[in-house]
Amino acid sequence: MRYIIIGAGAVGGAIGGRLHASGHDVVLVARGAHGRALRESGLRLQTPDESLTLPVPVVEGPEEVHLRRDDVLVLAVKTQDSVAALDAWAARPVARGGTAGESLPVLCAQNGVANETMALRRFRRVHGVCVWLPAQFLEPGVVTTSTAPLTGMLHLGRFPGGVDDTDRRVATALEKSRFLAPVVPDVMRWKYGKLLANLANAIEARGGPVRQPPLTDLARRAREEGAAVLAAAGIAYTPEDEQAAARGDRLEQRPVAGAERSGGSSWQSLRRGTGSIETDWLNGEIVLLGRRYGVPTPVNELLQRQAGDFARRGRPPGSLPVAELAAALAP
């Protein structure tokens, strides 16, 4: 199997780098300064235990790849970029006939729960991946992961449900590449559990680390709204203790020598000044469901709106005074 990593940022770069380092056939898809750095100097993958420079093949887009029947597409872009990426790849021809959308599996290794439905409109074979992989991408050509001895935990399963041989084969490759990779028939239950954890991303992105009141109180309120919405919608999700038990002691967060201390994916989007942020698909997912099922979601609605404003205006992460953030979200 060849793995084509569509979006070689923090998550995609870590997955692709680890797969390549363990001997698997990998192609990274990256553009701009990051793509140039990868082509010129290789992927520099920094971990708590080592620093690797990996000469992984790199392309800018689907027109540079001759797709094969054994290819696996790993979608690792932010959700706001999913439609463009899926449209670009789904219609590409595959060796011996057909298109990628007709014959190749696509794995959605992304936060949020909307990507799989987007993919299913374009691809017959869609797989969800619940990503627990603390990683950062702040400098072109460099990806840092912060857990050891394993790099992350990636639950895999078919969408909308079940498992197949692709899940099992990919899981075997990931487990040989320093990941936990449980194959589960209910992968979306894991992704909804991760969604609740990601609701605090917008707080961290604007106010800084969520370690003490009032930020921890706001994170709790956002999660409580999310849990209430999922209950009203009848959507199952994994509780925090089940997620922690799955990780066990094999994913210990440790410092990485020489790496800049950073925050989560939303924080990193503001740090890189991308002009967009995934909050519409995290807090915004809860807002959407709340409106459908008549559950008030004022905290998530304000977090969604203000985080989007931060991204559009190019404000740096953590620049909103904590007191101002707390006051804006006061009951």
pLDDT band at residue 209 under the 50/70/90 scheme = confident
Tokens of 172: 């075997």
Judge whether residue 331 has pLDDT over 80.
no
How confident is the model over 227-246, as a mean pLDDT? Answer: 96
Judge whether residue 259 has pLDDT over 90.
no
Q: Across the beta sheet with 51-54, what order do the strands follow?
A: 51-54, 43-46, 142-145, 135-139
Sign of the CA dihedral running 64, 29, 166, 109: negative
Is residue 156 a contact partner of residue 128, using CB atoms and an 8 Å limit? yes
pLDDT for the residue numbered 329:
66
The SS3 call for residue 151 is coil
* Least confident window among 57-61, 158-162, 321-325: 321-325
pLDDT for the residue numbered 211:
87
Q: Whole-model pTM?
A: 0.96
How confident is the model over 190-211, as a mean pLDDT? Answer: 93
Taking CA atoms, 40 is separated from 26, 36, 47, in Å, by: 17, 6, 21
Cα separation, 18 vs 43, in Å, equals 11
| Percent of the chain with pLDDT strictly greater than 70 | 99
Cα separation, 146 vs 197, in Å, equals 18
pLDDT for the residue numbered 84:
97
Taking CA atoms, 4 is separated from 25, 56, 181, in Å, by: 9, 11, 18
Cα separation, 158 vs 171, in Å, equals 13
Task: Specify the residue for token string 């094969």.
Answer: 68
pLDDT for the residue numbered 164:
98
Tens digits of per-residue pLDDT, 270-322?
999 999 999 999 999 999 999 999 999 999 999 999 999 999 999 998 888 77
Taking CA atoms, 301 is separated from 203, 226, 289, in Å, by: 12, 11, 11
Judge whether residue 328 has pLDDT over 80.
no
> What mean pLDDT value characterizes the chain?
95
pLDDT for the residue numbered 177:
98
CB neighbour list of residue 91: distance below 8 Å, 6 or more residues apart = 99, 100, 101
pLDDT for the residue numbered 324:
77
pLDDT for the residue numbered 325:
72
Tens digits of per-residue pLDDT, 102-121?
999 999 999 999 999 999 99
How confident is the model over 93-109, as a mean pLDDT? Answer: 97
CB neighbour list of residue 266: distance below 8 Å, 6 or more residues apart = 201, 202, 204, 205, 277, 278, 279, 282, 307
Cα separation, 131 vs 128, in Å, equals 9
